[in-house]
Amino acid sequence: MVFSSYAFIFLFLPIVLIGYFILSKLSDIKYQHIFLILASLFFYGYFNPVYLFIIISSVAINYTIGTLMKRSGYLNANVPDGRHRFLSPKELLIIGIVFNVGLLGYFKYYDFFIENVNTVFHLSFTVKNILLPLGISFFTFQQLSFLIAVYKGREKTDRFTAYCIFVLFFPQLVAGPIVLYGEMIPQFTDVKRRYLNADNLALGVYLFVIGLFKKVVIADTLSLFVDNGFAASELSLSAAWITSLSYTLQVYFDFSGYSDMAVGLGKMFNIDLIPNFNSPYKSASVSEFWRRWHITLGRALSTYIYRPLGGNRKGKLRTVFNLMITFFISGLWHGAAWTFVIWGTLHGMIVALERLSGSILDKIPRALRIAGTFIAVNFLWVLFRAESFSQALKVYTGMFNFKSVGISQLADIVYDGIINFPAPIDILYILGLTAVLLIVVFSRKNSMEKFKEFTPQRKYMIFGALLFCVSVLHLTRETVFIYFNF
């Protein structure tokens, strides 16, 4: 189930909210937790019930490993000398890491690995065309963080229901943010958060509606331009740049829309999810971009990959190496394709060059640095979106095709096969929309800034109602969020 659907907005969400807060009248909070867990499982298994077996097994095994890890010292202390001792916390952690990475590797990378083996060694192993379970990259990272925290003594293992709600809480289940156990469980066990809070509900609905509008009205409109552009046999200069800018804006509004909706949904349940998105295109460097884009993924990669490798503590060359490995893994995490790997690696190269340049970049006016960063990020998004290197090359070739400006091809980019407007109108439409969205991205306050300013006033209610009505009209073209694929 996706947030931007009739079923979610008009059935699932109202039923879950009403049921959750009705259960707050019972003395034990566990009934609310159980209800929310069951609702989240329904949400997760809505498209494909087979997914439920995978995630339930993952949750049960990780919780068991975490519990045994916590108890292993006591178990070993009570084993007589000479007898077989129980597994140590380190051994259990290794088992947990192997299990989680193995699960992710099988579902996400098995076919990728087999295809490359077949190509390199001219073999013919069977490709299974494995269906990727929703959110497996996210809940795998989340559970690995839990096991590592337990191993280091930073977290304890609570009730199984508490662990389930940490992993399965539906607003963040399939596309983040990647939250930590210690960030979530104290909120769910806080008695004051059990009960309906009208202010939080209003704020959550407001932020959810903003995210819904971003997704179904803006991002899904841009997806048509992107699909047409990448499907074209060749692109003129103007068509290639509009195609790349359209995807740059689509992925921005799609992911920021999801992030807004997730935070808004959490707020409706009195749960504060970490904002995962902070105007990344206003960044003055690619390094800053990654501190603003998918914030919790950056935190996870820094905590579990970059710092354990040594971070920036072992000299410049080692820092560059550590950055390259981290961004290589980031690219691979995003998708089982060499386009993603190269995309991540190129980002790592730019970040490494920025690190080596020291304070030299600071001498360049910030506006120029922002423009340069945006152009670089826009250029690399082409590789991220392309289904193959040849498709990416086609777009890149068009972006430098100065012999053919080809303004007329913009009308083909807009064409939806239903409504036929005169070509000049289509051209003005796509150019105007792109310009307006770029102005919004670079000059307007982001959702989190609006979130902090919100008060339940009439102007916000009217504005939210207007956005909601327009969004509902666009729900007929239901599409999944881009990050659902990762």
Distance CA 445, CA 442 (A): 9
Evaluate whether 252 touches 289 at the Cβ level (below 8 Å). Answer: no
Distance CA 216, CA 172 (A): 19
Q: How many CB atoms lie within 10 A of CB 452?
A: 9
Tokens 């989680």 sit on residue: 100
- Looking at residue 300, its amino acid is A
Distance CA 100, CA 94 (A): 10
Evaluate whether 326 touches 305 at the Cβ level (below 8 Å). Answer: yes
Listed in sequence order, the residues at least 6 apart from 444 whose beta carbon sits closer than 8 Å to its beta carbon are none
Evaluate whether 388 touches 340 at the Cβ level (below 8 Å). Answer: no
- Looking at residue 392, its amino acid is A
Catalytic sites, residue numbers: 334
